[in-house]
Structure 1
Amino acid sequence: MSSTDALGLAPLVMILTLVGLVAWGAARLFITTYRYIRATKLQRLRMRQGWAVARRWRRLAPNVGLARVDENTKGRKDWQGKTAKPVTVVPKMKVFPESWGIRAVIKTIPKVGVEEVEKAGGWLADAWGCQTVEVKRLAAGLVEVRGIIGNPLDDHLPYVWPDQDEWILPMGHNPWMRQLAIPLRQLSGIKVAGLPGYGKTMLMLAWMASLANRANVQFAIFDGKTSDPRYGDWGQAGARAMFVVGDNPETANQRLTELVRLLKDRPAALVEERGTHKFWKHGPTEANPLVLVLMDECHNYSDTKGLTGKDKQVIESNQRMMQTISKEGRGLGVIGIFTTQKQTGDAIPTAVRDNLEVGISFACFTLEGAEAALGSGIRQDEPNHPTALIDKDANTGVCVVTGVPGLGGRYDRIRVGDLDEDQLPAFIASTAHLRRDIIPAAAPTVVDVSAESAGASVPLQKDTKTTRRRKAS
């Protein structure tokens, strides 16, 4: 091709390029307009807010410390030999409108990363008209900023019941309107803390109701709030449980002994049924069901403060068995859920508390109480402090959670789904026909004739129908 032909093609290439750019711009405009027309009133509002945030970004970023001067351009001369103004580099940002506010993804530049964006979080919230912002590192070079407009936790949504094939305990929605749930597979247990009247027991009743219509689930209830559980929060629901215990530590000791015996016998029962002792490999069955141990106000069974003699021995025995359940129940389908107003070491043994992977805290007065339930990291996460949930009118049913998949060890606030406080226990009671007592009978003893005079006996692990006598050799 001659140089003349090449020059003749240049305008054609430019025209085709221009036409392509115009077509691309027109297509984007058409798609955006179409989405705007089809959107709801709230979605249109969020789209306009997102456009405003994107349009003002290049002016806002330098003013909040999220832009940097390119050092390579300092002292550079222009074509006239004068010192040129250094180039200011602004991180690129994409904005996505969401129902709860603004989600922005920022591409980092040198000296502007996740820490700098977190420091500027308050200024970004004010500039974008958001109540709060949350900053998270998505991947290398990408930072996500979520700005909440209003307070989605004020929205009351229905409680979401799980499907029959789902082994989860539903919670509710977080500030990003995402539904969170606790997976039951391989779960070591749950600790729930918070002041009275904020929703601890209602959440546990909801969990019980979500599984009550399954024959392969059984319940053990310890109601530490009343001496006679028939007249407490668990009165009606108790018809679905293997047993219900009041606040008497000695009665609780007897029932905890039975649960530990179930744990010790379960590996053999699992191997006999399915050829393996791993409970979750095949999941719960009617012969070997999932057992939820619900201990409401568990400090009444484990606090030794001011006790001596036999009373202290009973409480210490309870502590050891609660520890056994929390440490050995995970792989055998026996899961403990322990609630108390303050999850400190005097209310619940730290050997139990620190082995429970999911922590939940409703409103509490002190950070020490929050730390006991949620771990020391909660001190650095000020937006999620449970001490900010004291307003009972606004925050009954709102809690802070950690240890749930998807949070990455972080914390999140949850608004528990709305429940009918009157109908919930009645629904649980309607499934009472599915209740079965699966506690194995206590093993008889083999009496050693040589020790018979001293009254000694040897407990057996396996259950038999008759007591055998063994002669001394």
Structure 2
Amino acid sequence: MTVQELNGYAPLVVVAALTLIAVWAVVWIVRYAMADPMMRASIRQAVRVRRTWKRLAPMAGLSVTDKTPTALAAFSTAEGKTPKPRVLIPALKVQPDRFGIVARANCLPKVSLEEFQKAAPYLADAWRCERVSVLPDGPGQVIIRGVRVDPLTTRTEHVPTGAVPKKAAVWDLGVDEYAQPVAVDLSQVPGVTVAGLPGYGKTSLINRLICDWAPSPAVQFVGFDGKVSKAHEGDYADLVKRMFAFVGDDLEEANGELNRLVELRRARSSSIRSVLGVKSMWEVGPSEKWPLVVAVMDEVHTYFRDYKGNDPKTKKLAALAAENARLVEDLVKKGRSVGILVILATQKSTGDAIPTFIRDVCPIGLSFAQKTAEAAVAALGEDIRNWDDANPINLQNPAYVGVASMSHQSRPGFTRIRTPYVADADAARIAEDTAHLTRNPMDLLIAHTGLSLSKADDVSVLFGDEPNAA
């Protein structure tokens, strides 16, 4: 091809390049115009981060000098002169979101994960972020999360979709202090404790779990609310339609329901191999015929209270409370393999509220704001004393209503989580739409085993020698 022919194509190349630039500009402008104010601020922030990166990186210690010349530099350098060393800077790809930016960078020799983490405070200042975190993102890669707006003080609301969960027993909790989604897998988990001062988000947290799991016929709920007397009262009134049983603060009624749950646990333990063909329900997962049973016990200290006195009424209450503790211990220690999960919520999960022989076998604990170090340690363990930022005694500010601390399964230390608010109207809608899925798990078991509890021989089959239920 001659030079004249190349010159003939030049205008076409220029027009094509200008067209691509124009299309890119239109897309960017439309995206910016359609974004909400928070997203627009993040887009501007992302542009600034990209523009200043090559200047900022060397100042933050995120560059390396390469003294070995390239072939081109060696060829083009005059004889007798040393080629100028190159300064290598990690490539950075930046994406905005509502809370800030997410950047991915490649590592270089002497510029690895550790150097990026040391530079995080400098990056936070330069990028005008509340905080910056750096985590590995595969071999030779890091992911940098910068939040411009503190997710922990930004109120959020969750609107349940009514869709069946894609994965069983995954509890979506909210977002962490870097606005990253936080979920916890409750499969193989026998018990969860939730503590915190009144009005700081315990009930809304549990409401979300019920609303998100209610569309699945493979989950059934039973409710215990120690601060109300009747089902139509209190925070769970809108969700009772999706519960196969519900009791209030009456210790005798609670004792009766707990006994029925233990009977269910024993029946499942005795029949699991014949019905499911496995020793643990989690080998096959919950199903409509063998659902995960979630026992929600709010203000659980009501059922375990240590009554003092010698009059007959007090003695009866004390005996019921002791029996309730024994029954819950049975469910927590033996119910995991047969698909029973107990969620215990109280203001202060000290030993007088949740007996330690129950609390200490619950592997997952969350705590909203607490007033005392004793309560924080009871909820999260002794190690919380070493994590001052995440200590729930620092969450008493009204801005932190809905914020909880927990030790997450996949993260070191403790994580602070902003849990969203679930409106009563949305909870009522989900309960109404899914009420037809409510089944008593014992009835399902009897239907699928062909047994009748009214017959003595069938009872002996169901409640004969129990296998070990881990």
Decide: shared fold, TM above 0.5.
yes
Residue 278 of structure 1, CA deviation: 3.6
CA contact (8 A) 2:172 2:209 kept: yes
| Equivalent pair of 2:46/2:94 in contact (CA under 8 Å) | yes
Counterpart residue number, 1:193: 195
Indicate which of 291, 294, 313 corresponds to 2:293.
Answer: 291
Q: Which protein is bigger by CA-based radius of gyration?
A: 1
Which of 316, 333, 337 aligns to 2:339? It is 333
Question: Which residue matches 1:159?
Answer: 159
User: What residue is the counterpart of 1:419 in the other structure?
Assistant: 422
- 1:48 & 1:259 partners in 2: Cα distance? 56
Which amino acid is 2:25 matched to? T
Q: 1:71 & 1:51 partners in 2: Cα distance? A: 31
Distance 1:351 1:443 in 2: 34
Greater CA deviation, 281-290 or 292-301?
281-290
- Structure 2: distance between partners of 1:244 and 1:284: 22
226-235 vs 132-141, greater mean Cα deviation: 226-235
Question: Structure 1's 24 and 70: CA in aligned 2 closer, same or farther, altered over 3 A?
Answer: farther
> Secondary structure at the residue paired with 1:231?
coil
Higher relative contact order (CA 8 A, sep 6+): 2
1:398 lines up with 2:403 in the alignment: yes
Which blocks of at least 5 consecutive residues in structure 2 are unaligned?
8-12, 70-76, 444-451, 465-470
- Can you list the C-alpha shifts for 1:348-391, whole angstroms capped at 9, x where unaligned? 24443344344333233456544544456655666555444333
User: Counterpart of 1:395 in structure 2: which amino acid?
Assistant: Y
Give TM-score scaled by structure 2 length: 0.72
Shift of 1:58: 3.8
1:156 match: secondary structure:
coil
For 1:136, the equivalent position in structure 2 comes to 135
Provide the rounded CA distance (Å) in 2 between the counterparts of 1:373 and 1:80: 72
From 42, 55, 69, the equivalent of 1:59 is: 55
- Alpha-carbon distance change, 80 to 323 in structure 1, aligned in 2, over 3 angstroms: farther
Q: Tell me the CA shift for residue 262 of structure 1.
A: 1.0
1:263 corresponds, among 244, 262, 265, to 265
Go from structure 1 to structure 2 and tell me whether the alpha carbon gap of 1:113 and 1:380 turns closer, same or farther (over 3 Å shift). farther
Q: Deviation of residue 197 (structure 1)? A: 0.6
Distance 1:261 1:55, change over 3 A: same
- SS state at 1:139 partner: coil
TM-aligned CA deviation for residue 127 of structure 1? 0.9
Where in structure 1 are there 5+ consecutive unaligned residues? Answer: 1-10, 16-20, 447-458, 465-473
Q: Deviations over 1:214-267 (max 9, x none)?
A: 555332222122355553333454454333233344543343232122111103
Instruction: Map 1:435-450 to 2 at 5 A.
Output: 435-439=438-442
Counterpart residue type for residue 32 of structure 2: T
- The answer to whether the aligner puts 1:359 opposite 2:365 as a matched pair is yes
Residue of structure 1 in register with 2:125 after alignment: 126
Equivalent pair of 2:231/2:248 in contact (CA under 8 Å) = yes
Letter in 1 for 2:92: M
Deviation at 1:293, TM superposition (A): 0.3
- In the superposition, relative to structure 1, how do residues 350 and 138 fare at CA in structure 2: closer, same or farther (>3 Å)? farther
Quote the Cα distance in structure 2 between the aligned partners of 1:375 and 1:160.
32
Choose which of 37, 40, 46 in structure 1 pairs with 2:32.
40
SS at match of 2:137: strand
**3-state SS of paired residue (1:39):** helix
State the SS of the aligned residue for 1:121. helix
Question: How far off is 1:196 after superposition?
Answer: 0.7
The number of residues matched between the two structures is 433
CA RMSD of aligned residues (A): 4.7
- Decide which moves more: 332-341 or 46-55: 46-55
SS of 1:343 mapped into structure 2: coil
Q: For 2:455 and 2:50, how far apart are their aligned partners in 1?
A: 76
1:428 paired with 2:431, answer yes
Q: Which moved further from structure 2: 84-93 or 226-235?
A: 84-93
